[in-house]
Amino acid sequence: MPKIDESELIRRLKLLSQIEPTSEATNRAMERLRDSLTQQENLRESTTTRIVRAVIHRSVIKFAAAAVLLICAGYVTGRLSAPEQVDVEQLRAELVQQMSQQWESILETRHAQLRQEVYQQVRRDLMEFAARTLTASRDLTDQRLVELIQLIEAARMQDRQRIAAALEQIELNRLQDKTQFRNGLQTLVARANEPQPTKQN
């Protein structure tokens, strides 16, 4: 946007102050402003634009109020100063051009800010999701390890019980063998002590 020095700004304010807008001209200007805003809103009907619109709504109201106050101040100042002939169409064209440039600049700035905010929010959400997923995975792994340890411990207990039962059975078998061996020895000793029948010819 071209920069305007102070003298040019004063000259334009004087020109503005000499304009006596009719109610028709004011209504037309307001209607054009409404149409322009409506067209811009219709062109950008996406989620991002709706958010931008909500964010810049206050700035737009402030900007419009400032523009109205500036025009009114220029009008009053012009009425109090010496009258000059003004090219209303040229002045209107310049105002429309400057306002459209300012609107575009504001919208681009807001759009860039919003895009950055959305990017940061998405990044935060992804990091939070990754942290939750990692925590859930760690918890699940710990649970599986506990279950595996419990299964291993149960299997070891079963092995110990089987080994104990086998050792007990071996001990019983040994005792039975020992008893049978002793009984066999006693029987053998008893038979050996019995008198042998003599052979008669």
Residue 168 lies in a domain: no
pTM over 0.95: no
Q: Note down the domain range covering 41.
A: 6-137
- How far apart (Å, rounded) are the C-alpha atoms in residues 6 and 20? 23
Residue scoring higher pLDDT (2 or 124): 124
pLDDT digit string, tens, across residues 50-109: 665 665 666 666 677 677 777 877 777 766 664 555 567 777 888 888 888 888 888 888
Cα dihedral 133→135→140→146 (10° resolution): 170
Residue 185 lies in a domain: no
Residue 167 lies in a domain: no
Number of domains in the chain: 1
